[in-house]
Amino acid sequence: MPIFQRALLTAICCGALVTPANAFVRGDANGDQAIDISDPVAILQVLFTPGSAPLSCTDAGDTNDDGSFDISDAVFLLSHLFIPGSPPPPEPFPLSGADPTPDALGDCDATSLPFVVAVESFVCGAPDTFEIFREAADFEVFWSQYASIFFPPPPQPVVDFSNEMVVAIVQNHSTGGFFISIDELIATGGDIEVHFTAGSPLGGCPVTTATTAPHSIVITPLAPGDPVALSTVVDTCP
C-alpha cells in the first residue's frame, strides 16, 4: 500500500524529514510521490497550456532521459503506464536520486519525503537509536528490543521494505519530562535530513524519577542517503 494512503499505525512505545539536493524520481513530473496518469497530464499541460506553472523539476519530466523536455516525454510515460512490456523510465527510477546523464535542464530542488508516524511515545526497551532501517531483518531486531518491556508486546508495524524505509529516534533519560517528534524528512541526494523537535523539562519542573525513552518512529518512501540529525530543542514543563 502506498505510504501516502496508509492510515496511521498505533502502538504503546518507543525528528525532521530530509531530501537530497538535485534528487528526483524520473516520471514523477508533478512531484506528488506517485507515478500515474496525472504525470503525463502535467507534462502536456506545461507544454501546451499557456500560463501553466513550470515543473518544479524538469528532469523528472524528461521521462525518456534524452536531455530535452517535449511531447515525447508524455508519450513515453503513457506507454510505460498502459502498454505492457514498455520500458520503464531510466534512472533515477523508481527510487529518488541524481540524474546520471548530463543535460541542460537545470537542477531540481531538494525533496521533502512524506511519512506516517508508526509510534511516538516515551517508554520502550530500545537503546539510544538514530537510524534508518531499509532491511526487514534489521528492523525486526530493533523492534524486538523496543517491545521487550511490554506484555503482551505491541505488534510490529507493517512496512513494505521494497518501497519503504523506517526512520527511528530513541533517546533514553533518567527522568521524565522529555519528548521527541519527527517533523520533516528531506532527501538531499547524499543524505536524509531528519528534522525533529526534542523537548526537555525546565529546571524546577516536577518530573517523574523513572527512566524514560522518548522516541519517534516513522515510515517513509525508500530513498538513498545516510541520516543527518537536525534538532530543535524546546523547554517544557509537563
H or E segment and range at residue 73: helix 71-82
The span from the CA of 203 to the CA of 35, in Å, is 50
Q: Does the structure show a pLDDT above 60 at 12?
A: no
SS3 state of residue 182: strand
The β-bridge partners of 24 are 97
pLDDT at 193: 86
Domain-by-domain residue ranges, the chain? 3-21+111-236, 24-104
Q: Within a 10 A sphere around the Cβ of 61, how many other Cβ atoms? A: 28
Residue type, 197: T
**Closest by alpha carbon to 132, among 111, 159, 93, 105?**
159
Query: What does the pLDDT read at residue 189?
Result: 57
Residue 147: predicted pLDDT: 95
234, burial (CB in 10 Å: exposed 0-12, middle 13-18, buried 19+): exposed
- More confident call, 45 vs 189: 45
Q: What is the pLDDT of residues 24-82, one digit of tens each?
A: 889 999 877 789 999 999 999 989 988 777 777 889 999 999 999 999 999 999 999 99
- Average pLDDT on 131-156 reads 96
Q: Give the whole-angstrom CA distance, residue 123 versus residue 176.
A: 10
3-class state of residue 144 by DSSP? helix
pLDDT at 9: 30
- Report the chain's mean pLDDT, rounded to a whole number: 85
**Which of 17-21, 36-40, 177-181 is predicted with the least confidence, judged by mean pLDDT?**
17-21
Does residue 176 carry a pLDDT above 80?
A: yes
What pLDDT score does 5 carry? 30
- Residue 137: which pLDDT band, with cuts at 50, 70 and 90? very high
Closest CA to 13 of 194, 202, 168: 168
- pLDDT for the residue numbered 217: 98
Short-list 169, 163, 140, CA closest to 17: 169
Compute the distance between CA of residue 214 and CA of residue 123 in angstroms, rounded to an integer. Answer: 6
Q: How far apart are CA 109 and CA 175, in angstroms?
A: 41
Mention every residue, 6+ apart, whose C-beta is less than 8 A from residue 143: 156, 157
The CATH number assigned to the domain with range 24-104 reads 1.10.1330.10
